[in-house]
Every structure is written in structure tokens, then in C-alpha cells.
Amino acid sequence: MMAAEWAIYPSLKDRVVLVTGGATGIGEALVEAFAHQGARVVFADVQDEAAERLRARLAAAGATEPRYRHCDLTDVSAIGAMVAEVVEELGTVDVLVNNAGNDQRHQVAEVTEEFWDRTMAVNLRHQFFAAQAVLPAMQRAQRGSIINMSSIGWVIPSTSQVVYVTAKAAVVGMTRTLAHEVGKDNIRVNCIMPGAILTERQKRLWLTPEYTATVLGNQALKRMVGPEEVARLALFLAAEDSSGITNQSYVIDAGWV
């Protein structure tokens, strides 16, 4: 739930916001944050039960109830159909947050062609095709904000996830090029690069005492960063408060990089 001291962005009220991978983790925090701003939120995922729990929780909290679309984001045709359905129902997409991803750990010797392609589809390819799909509506409106999710993993550099890190480095390049492609239509494209974020998945899979010690030892702030903090950065980049900002990548990692 939104804390009383957090910012309210009037320009986000009633704006159509599409979040990919919005059922859990950082995506869940994004959906919640935009819903509490009064935005008309649509989130796409394949985790139907988690999505319905999120919708019910936000409705009970008095937030604008988000819409959910089941969508396999590794299927490019499904992305296009989902975006077309959203535009037909709501008239446009004002904000796209390309959040979906999977940081599955892997060793170099284990990587197969199939694993490479799947990892790129989950962490990079859908971001481009979701952006491509929303651009006609944004161009008609002559406004829009696209926010891509990268990672600090390629800067540290991280290990045991070379394909994931490769994809996340590519997101930054895509962001910068796309920003110059669509800037003439008053569409902004920016990127968020989270560090070690304290999601339920991270706690369940990776957050051992040893890993926590490594994270806190490298960060300037000696605490973990929560997904709601990433969401608050996305709110700013989506709102008119950041109307002069594009082509940028913002690190949120408690000072690791």
C-alpha cells in the first residue's frame, strides 16, 4: 500500500499503463504503485492465480482495480494480440513498463542453443516487440513513456548467469537507440537497472546468508532494496514530472555500482 509520504503524480491519473510480468515480484509492486496513482493498469503474465490474488488485494485496499491479461510473452504474436486488445478496450497505451524477466542461474558449459533462445525471449525479445506494438497508439497521441527493465548484472559484472546478463546489457542499447527513433513523436524511452532486490523469489531461491553478506558488503547502503522502491522510480519516469528525460538508464542498487 502507498505510504503517506510517497509522491502523488496527478499526470498518472487515468493514464493507461501496461506492465509485463506484473503478477509477482517487482512487477507486482509496479502494478500496485500505478494503481494507487489512479492509473488504468493492465498487467500481462502467465501466473493466473497470483494475478487474481493481486487484483483482489488491490480492490480491497481501495486502489483502482487493474485488468489482467494472460499472455505468454515469449510468443510474439500473443504480445501483439494482447496490446491490440488493450488499445481497443482502453483507447491507447500511455505507459509501457517492460518488466518481465527471469534471472535463472546457469554455468557457461550448461548453455544450449535452446536455453540461449529461451533466455533471450524472456529477458530481451519481448521488450522490443511490446514496444513495437504500443508505438502506433503512442504516435497517434504524440506522447508516451516506455520503461525497460535491465539490471546492474552486466556492470558489476555478475557471474553464473552469462546469458541473462547479456540480455540485460542489450536492453540498455535498445533503450538508447529506440529513444532516438521515437523522440520526434514525444515518446520517451528510459531504462531501470535494479541491483539485488528483495523479492519473494529472491528470498526463496538466492538469498543465502553468504549472498546477503556479499550484497551488503558491496552496497553503500547496508540494507536490502525493496521492489516498491523500484516501482517509485518507475512512477517518476512515467509521469510528466520527468517530461524532459529520455535515453537514460537509472541504477537503483543502494550504491553497489
Residues acting as catalytic residues: 164
**225 contact partners, CB below 8 Å, separation of at least 6:** 194, 195, 196, 197, 198, 252, 253, 254
Q: Where are the alpha helices (DSSP H) in the chain?
A: 25-36, 48-60, 76-90, 113-120, 126-141, 162-182, 200-205, 209-218, 227-238
In whole angstroms, give the CA distance from residue 221 to residue 238. Answer: 26
The amino acid present at 216, given as its one-letter code, is: L
Helix (H, G, I), strand (E, B), or coil: what is residue 105? coil
Count CA within 13 A, CB hemisphere, residue 175. 29
Per-position DSSP letters for 2-62, written without gaps between them = --TTS---GGGTT-EEEEET-SSHHHHHHHHHHHHTT-EEEEEES-HHHHHHHHHHHHHTT
